[in-house]
Amino acid sequence: MTSSASPFVPPTVDVLAEQRLAHAALEAVITVDHEQRIVMINPAGLGMFGLSSEQALGMALERLIPDRLRAAHGHHVRQFCDSGQIERPMGKRGQVVGLRSNGEEFPVEAAIFKSEVVQPSGTQTYYTVLLRDTSELSRMSGVIDRLNQRLRAMFERAPVAIWITEQERVVFANRACAQLVGLDHPEQLVGRSIFDLLAPDAHDPVRNQLQALDQDEGVAVVQGSIRRANGSLREVELVVATLPDHERSFVQMVINDITQRAREKKDLLRSRRTLRELSASMVEAREEERRRIARELHDELGQRLTALKLEMAACQRDHPDLAVGERAQAMLDMLDDTVASARRIAMDLRPLMLDDLGLPEAIDWLVNEFKRRTGMEVVTRLDDNLCELSPHLATTLYRIVQEALTNITRHARATRVSVELEGSNRELTLSIQDNGVGFTQGIRSSNPGSFGLLGIRERVLMLGGRLTVSNAPEGGARLVVHVPMAQPAAPAPGDHDQDAVEPLFDDSIHDSLD
């Protein structure tokens, strides 16, 4: 702007009355005459430039602009005066910088307005400038830019693969993502559809999650495969989440390469399945051996002992001598004890009634023997319609009851036990409960060679069932087994191992039995 040497003439009272309305404005408002001298400045303008009203009124406007910019600013003002325009934002003509009274420069946004005022001396032209101090805004913009740069650098240097998408197109990818896909530079991913990079098995799950994110602000996890540049596949886990404050159009995906983990998991499951099959084979072989030995004890040894007893009785009858008779009677008593021991050993190995009469009768005999040995009260409720169970199922359930009663004898300190067995067309339920001390939370068996509950668990899993071990509300421990009446076929290779998802105990109970 340029100044004139003519004396300063203040505007009329009517003009000042109009311009007082600007005093309430929060932004700086400055009015100058045709010679670019200040005729009005509001309090916000005085505070912005650090001036008093006496200093500002009559001052040339160019004194509020740094020396280096005054000529260019004056040229812009003259162009505006000659253009006939009523208003113009001055920022479009170049940088607008203000100068405070202490010499400090600061950026401003400015707009200039022209008005014509009719006075007795003729028509007078005035120009009003609206100014806004943008120094704080510039400072905050600089801080935001630096934070954005740091955030971008953090994403770019993150060791895990990350890409950001708009709709389904990649708008950002970091170095780790490029390495995962097998590209040299992350920029090679920008603009590509994620479905060109993901294997077909991941398309539908990712699409479903992207649609779900429109209504949900949570984080979703999707597993699938990603196709590398050389055509090979890597198994990945994608953690999908919308970016905040972007109207859900931008989605961030953190991509974890789980190929090695998935391979190790498959190997572990295969190993577990093999061990379980081996365990089942060993259990079956042991049961078959027990069955054979029990039959031999009952048939071979029992028959021979019975024949020997008959011979001894005949010898005693044929030789009535008192001394010989007493010795023969003692031998007969020993034979009776031996027969009883052989019968007991055979029953412990495998009760023949399990094959001949069925599971309920075998459990009933086992419970009676348990009561005789321990003196505990035992209440049984056995479904009599379960005599036609498969030999494998009946044997396994019998062994579970046998092991549970043994554990109660060793650890429960109970006085009462209940055994319930009931079945339906699809499922058989076995429940064993005592009134003892129950399971102590956090305590495991101190004997490293104890595998009682583990053995029960393995037997249940071999039947395709589930096992629940907990403390009963009224006190004591409770063991509940659910198994299907129709036994499952052997798992095919690649099937998930039941053990991977089937808990042995509820959330509050640990293995405190051997």
Mean pLDDT per segment of 10 residues, for the chain of length 514 residues? 43 50 73 86 89 90 87 77 66 70 88 76 80 84 83 81 88 90 90 90 84 71 88 89 68 88 88 79 77 77 82 79 78 84 78 81 90 92 83 88 90 91 88 88 47 81 88 89 75 42 39 36
CA distance 74 to 98: 14
In 3D space, the residue among 66, 121, 110 whose CA is nearest the CA of residue 88 turns out to be 110
Q: Which residues of 462-473 are buried (b: 16+ CB within 10 A; e: fewer)?
A: bbebbbbbbbee
> What's the pTM?
0.48
Tell me what pLDDT residue 71 has. Answer: 83
Q: How many Å is the maximal CA-CA distance in the chain?
A: 170
CA distance 456 to 466: 11
Contacts by residues 53-58 (CB-CB < 8 Å, ≥ 24 positions apart) = 55/101, 57/10, 58/8
Tell me what pLDDT residue 245 has. Answer: 57
Tell me what pLDDT residue 379 has. Answer: 93
Tell me what pLDDT residue 88 has. Answer: 64
Tell me what pLDDT residue 491 has. Answer: 45
Tell me what pLDDT residue 21 has. Answer: 58
